[in-house]
Chains A and B, each alone.
Chain A
Amino acid sequence: MPVTVKTFQALSEVASALSSDRAARYLGGGTLVMRDLNEGDVSMTTVVRATDRSLQTIDGSGARVRIGAGVTFARVLAERDLGFLHPAARSIGGPAVRNMGTVGGNLFAPAPFGDFTVALLALDGLVAVQGGFGLRDMPLEEFLQSRDRQAGALVVAVSCIRPASADAFRYRKISRIKPKGGSVITLAAHVPQSGGRVSGARIALGSMAPTAIRAKGVERALEGRPLDASTINAAAAAASEGTAPTDNALASAWYRREVVGVHLRRLLSGQES
């Protein structure tokens, strides 16, 4: 069914168009919205696009990197300053999907997709949202918890901290089809250490709930302790705490709960999957 396509330059106009029409969807790279259109989603009558160049900017020079919502994963991979995010970007789709899919769109990708968001969540991600009252930064965790109510919001950019060291940030996607494929479980861990002890641990999991989630039980098990075998065992034991995975064709919820601790232990120990 044909839809109305509206294209705006100003972000405020885009936000206004989205908030004033419940049947409007924002089109970024197209990998989510066009898929729904192809499947005959009649709930969508308007597609809104933005041409503002700020959606395409990357500022990767500081301690907190900022990535425009319209930046594709191929561009993330081409940016040397964003090297710590390359494993997450590379784990998404094939080259064509990475040439299209955007960082902003990934926040809305349902499980078993949305792997890049898992990495951002472990790096204290913030989401810059343009609403009717201007631009505001929102913690990614809070954004994801209310994602279903964010359909009228325009994500302008995401930001995250740069890991304390190359070794402090670890990312792994468990999938059946390699090198691409939907996620069985996606794990991201930021475990900075101070004086030989973990300080400020952030662990995020994908495909363990409808959106990416923080594994707070694991973070508590790691905090203030040396990253040794007993700490890692305690962290692995807490891995399924607070999770709510679902069954799908890639894995059952039971399987995901059973193996999440195994993969977390391997990730934190530096072992191969």
Chain B
Amino acid sequence: MTKTPLQFRHNGREVALFVDGGTNLLVVLREMLGDVTPKFGCGQGGCGACTVLIDGEAHLSCLTLAETVEGRAVETLDGIKTGPNLHPLQQAFAEGFAAQCGYCTPGMLMAAKALLDRIPQPSREQVVEAISGNICRCTGYEPIINAVLAAAASRRASA
């Protein structure tokens, strides 16, 4: 089976590699690029733990054929902080105890980032909708929703 060349932007950095046919983006990120922030959960599109942004839109990396990101920009949790400074969403999650076991957290943060990039000051309903494809079995969701709203408020305060 021949391998296919693949080139895309990973958290602002151009990467080039060869992939087997049918490889999904999550495998490329975790096993070939060493970015283990997106998690493997269900492999079926049901849990959202593997959520990444492709050209700014939330996608499930486990259901994304690697070849389809050729020439596109892929953003993962690994790339959202600025130097030593956490992203406002990460800060709000930490301060609001929005992570317990933490397995869903990278997907939750990327789903929330897709929302705040599009709607900087979302309503509570918009936050609920934005994370509706991400399952958390620990928190009961309330601390997560509150953390996303707190991150939006902190951005407003610092603007």
Binding site for B on A (CB under 8 A): 1-5, 7, 27, 30-31, 34-35, 37-39, 47, 49, 74, 93-97, 99-100, 179-180
**Across the two chains, which residue of chain A brings its CB closest to B45?**
A31
Which of A1, A2, A34, A96 has most B Cβ within 10 Å? A96
For B63, the chain A residues whose CB sits under 8 A away are 30-31, 34-35, 38, 100
Q: Which 6 pairs of residues, A with B, have the shortest CB-CB distance?
A: A94-B133, A3-B22, A2-B20, A38-B43, A96-B58, A34-B63
Q: How far is the CB of B141 from chain A (nearest CB, A)?
A: 12
Considering the chains assembled together, what is the distance between the CA atoms of A94 and B65 in angstroms? 19
For A93, the chain B residues whose CB sits under 8 A away are 45, 133
Q: How far is the CB of A166 from chain B (nearest CB, A)?
A: 22
- The answer on a CB contact under 8 Å between B22 and A96 is no
If over half of B's interface residues share one DSSP class (helix, strand or loop), that class is named, otherwise mixed; here it is: mixed
Extra 17 A-B pairs, beta carbons < 8 Å, given A2-B22, A96-B48, A96-B60: A1-B22, A4-B21, A34-B65, A35-B63, A37-B24, A38-B44, A38-B63, A93-B45, A93-B133, A95-B114, A95-B129, A96-B51, A96-B111, A97-B133, A99-B57, A99-B58, A100-B64
Which of A3, A74, A99 has most B Cβ within 10 Å? A99
Considering the chains assembled together, what is the distance between the CA atoms of A2 and B8 in angstroms? 21
For A30, the chain B residues whose CB sits under 8 A away are 63-65, 68
- The answer on a CB contact under 8 Å between B64 and A5 is no
- The answer on a CB contact under 8 Å between A180 and B43 is no
Pick the contact of A5: B60, B65, B111, B131 (CB < 8 A). B65
Fill in one digit per residue for B31-73: 1 if any A CB lies within 8 Å of its CB, else 0: 0000000000001110010010000011110111101100000
Considering the chains assembled together, what is the distance between the CA atoms of A95 and B62 in angstroms? 15
24 contacts between A and B (CB under 8 A): A3-B21, A3-B22, A5-B4, A7-B67, A30-B65, A31-B60, A34-B24, A34-B62, A34-B64, A35-B43, A39-B44, A47-B22, A93-B133, A94-B134, A95-B111, A95-B115, A95-B130, A95-B133, A96-B111, A97-B133, A99-B58, A100-B63, A100-B64, A180-B133
For B23, the chain A residues whose CB sits under 8 A away are 2
Tell whether B153 is near chain A: CB-to-CB under 8 Å.
no
B-side interface size class: 20 to 34
For B133, the chain A residues whose CB sits under 8 A away are 93-97, 180
Q: How far is the CB of B99 from chain A (nearest CB, A)?
A: 19
- The answer on a CB contact under 8 Å between B59 and A94 is no
For B115, the chain A residues whose CB sits under 8 A away are 95
**Across the two chains, which residue of chain A brings its CB closest to B128?**
A179
For A39, the chain B residues whose CB sits under 8 A away are 43-44
Contacts known (A2-B23, A5-B22); A94 close to B57, Cβ less than 8 A: no
Considering the chains assembled together, what is the distance between the CA atoms of A30 and B44 in angstroms? 10
Considering the chains assembled together, what is the distance between the CA atoms of A76 and B58 in angstroms? 16
Tell whether B1 is near chain A: CB-to-CB under 8 Å.
yes
Q: How far is the CB of A31 from chain B (nearest CB, A)?
A: 5
Contacts known (A4-B21, A95-B111); A179 close to B64, Cβ less than 8 A: no
Contacts known (A38-B62, A93-B45); A5 close to B67, Cβ less than 8 A: yes
Considering the chains assembled together, what is the distance between the CA atoms of A272 and B125 in angstroms? 19
Considering the chains assembled together, what is the distance between the CA atoms of A2 and B44 in angstroms? 18
For A179, the chain B residues whose CB sits under 8 A away are 128-129, 132
For B58, the chain A residues whose CB sits under 8 A away are 95-96, 99
- The answer on a CB contact under 8 Å between A35 and B132 is no
- The answer on a CB contact under 8 Å between B60 and A97 is yes
